[in-house]
Structure 1
Amino acid sequence: MSPQPPNPTAPASTPASTAASSQATPPEPFPSGATLVPYNFPTQKLKLRQTQQDKTPLVLVACGSFSPITYLHLRMFEMASDFVRFNTEFEVCGGYLSPVSDAYKKVGLAPGHHRVNMCSRAVDQSSWLMVDPFETVKANQDGEPEYVPTAKVLRHFDYEINTVLGGIEAPDGTRKKARIALLAGADLVMSMGEPGLWSPADLQVILGSFGAFIIERSGTDIDEALGSLSQYESNIWVISQVIQNDISSTKVRLFLKKDLSVRYLIPDPVVEYIEENHLFHNEPNKGGRMSPAADANPGPSAS
């Protein structure tokens, strides 16, 4: 199994010409009925028809705790969208936030339905960002929350978009397979570069079959990590963070526990939701992080 740091980028960006590497269509990754509540894959903001014939459709997926979601999580998508537009042969057709399962058992992790609701409020005004609750409703055979490794999350999106929906329609009416890619912060690649933390099989799926767009962070040196991932360099795109932003969910929770204002650190609708539901105030620790042996669904930022 691969590692499990919290849900959370390669010096020079890699060639965009390799972006269209093929992905084998996987079988349905999750049996029907294996969820805590009825589930429907969200497609309301997914661009089902491209505007540029010569581009490869791209869907960005950020896995993370989002406890709570911050402006940095949202800015990551906008930075990636700009980067894709000017530096690659992709056309962004959608962006998804995928909050991690309650089975992750991370300190400060609010219940899944609250994290999904906060993310939904945060992206309500976005024309292209959506929240997929699948990880938070995935259940095991005993009806308990089940952790979903990052590799399986990406396969889930590939199945829903490319198998169920049949991909994205090009301007000429043909169907194209969408490229699914992980969107994350520099700490993700750094964790992937640590020997023994991630399983080779999962790395092959995440970076070999799908790929990742990584946001650089001040204070992080990922050169060494990227060196150990050199076999995947054609599937890793590094995005510079021109305006530094170190807001994290951890810092937001600390402010809330101290009864300090978090306005302008996170979206107002999220602030209101936290206040309405009395989240993160004097909450007890929920136990330690999962063992590094279990795949950590690293996401956009250390949270």
Structure 2
Amino acid sequence: MQPIGVFGGTFDPIHFGHLRLAEEMAEELGLARVVFIPAGQPPHRGTPHTAAIHRLEMVRRATAGNPLFSVDAREVESPRPSYTVDTLAGLRAELGFEQPLWLLLGADAFLALPTWHEWRRLFDLAHIAVAARPGARLLQSDAMPERLNNEVSQRQRTKGSVSGPAGSVLLQQMTPLDISATAIRDILARHGSARYLLPDAVLDYIHEHQLYTHHEH
């Protein structure tokens, strides 16, 4: 059964760094598809700068041309704060417990994992693939919180040795695209050009709705 990737985030806004990560993960892990899940109300971060409905639409526009990519609105449509563990549990219930799932995380998100709600349950629900820059020392024990290191030491695998529907941790080297949503918001706030940092369809949507200007609330 071909695995499915799950890629959550605020996507505020979505940019080429996100899209390239998903594309490379799909290729390296042999994913049938990557499901983008924009966060509704992320509990462990500040309120996103832009309303969830706009962030959802930007993700839809950014992913529209790629048959490997799909978008799931469940967190945006939920009235409650969105916890990754609940989202994965919902996907598991729909897809069955034999379906291999990969939660795709950037390095910073992975290192903060012990602050997440019921974080150890994540390993029961999915494998975790961590995107790292070439040469990063990310999964060495002195780079991680101790609780996370204990899990990783038991679960880290190489690509060819992953089996089952969940439970492994894999460090996957990625093309380093040093693009951040924060930097894009700063450029747009000062009316600079963000072209070639994110898809034109997303940039057009941002301009159409005047997102990320100083006047937004």
TM-score, normalized by length of structure 2?
A: 0.83
CA distance in 2, matches of 1:108, 1:83: 31
2:82 — aligned with what? Answer: 148
Larger mean Cα displacement after TM superposition, 212-221 or 147-156: 212-221
Could you tell me whether the CA contact under 8 Å between 2:37 and 2:75 is conserved in 1? yes
Residues 220/188 of structure 1: CA separation in 2 closer, same or farther (3 Å cut): farther
Q: How does 1:253-272 map to 2 (within 5 A)?
A: 253-272=185-204
1:94 is the counterpart of 2:48:
no
1:233 — aligned with what? Answer: 156
Pick from 56, 62, 69: which aligns with 1:122?
A: 62
Please list every run of 5 or more consecutive structure 2 residues that lacks an aligned counterpart in the other structure: 158-167
1:73-112 per-position Cα deviation (integer Å, ceiling 9, x unaligned):
1111111122114xxxxxx222111111136462543101
1:217 is the counterpart of 2:149:
no
Give the root-mean-square deviation of aligned CA atoms.
2.2
Residues 108/253 of structure 1: CA separation in 2 closer, same or farther (3 Å cut): farther
Could you tell me whether the CA contact under 8 Å between 2:26 and 2:34 is conserved in 1? no
Residues 137/209 of structure 1: CA separation in 2 closer, same or farther (3 Å cut): closer
1:11-70 per-position Cα deviation (integer Å, ceiling 9, x unaligned):
xxxxxxxxxxxxxxxxxxxxxxxxxxxxxxxxxxxxxxxxxxxxx321101110000001
1:192-220 per-position Cα deviation (integer Å, ceiling 9, x unaligned):
2x5xx245xx2332124311111003796
Helix, strand or coil for the counterpart of 2:156?
helix
Pick from 122, 125, 129: which aligns with 1:206?
A: 122
The alignment covers a number of residue pairs equal to 199
Helix, strand or coil for the counterpart of 2:2?
strand
The aligned amino acid for 1:206 is: L
Instruction: For CA contacts below 8 A with separation 6 or more, give which structure has more relative contact order.
Output: 1
Helix, strand or coil for the counterpart of 2:90?
helix
The aligned amino acid for 1:233 is: Q
1:84 is the counterpart of 2:24:
no
Could you tell me whether the CA contact under 8 Å between 2:41 and 2:82 is conserved in 1? no
CA distance in 2, matches of 1:220, 1:260: 32
Please list every run of 5 or more consecutive structure 1 residues that lacks an aligned counterpart in the other structure: 1-55, 86-91, 140-145, 164-176, 287-303
Deviation at 1:258, TM superposition (A): 1.0
CA distance in 1, matches of 2:77, 2:193: 31
Deviation at 1:179, TM superposition (A): 1.1
In percent, how many aligned pairs have the same letter?
A: 25
Larger Rg: 1
1:137 is the counterpart of 2:77:
yes
CA distance in 2, matches of 1:108, 1:211: 27
1:156-199 per-position Cα deviation (integer Å, ceiling 9, x unaligned):
11122238xxxxxxxxxxxxx3212210101122112x5xx245
Greater per-residue helix proportion: 2
Could you tell me whether the CA contact under 8 Å between 2:41 and 2:47 is conserved in 1? no
CA distance in 2, matches of 1:268, 1:72: 14
Q: How does 1:38-53 map to 2 (within 5 A)?
A: none
2:92 — aligned with what? Answer: 158
TM-score, normalized by length of structure 1?
A: 0.61
Helix, strand or coil for the counterpart of 2:96?
helix
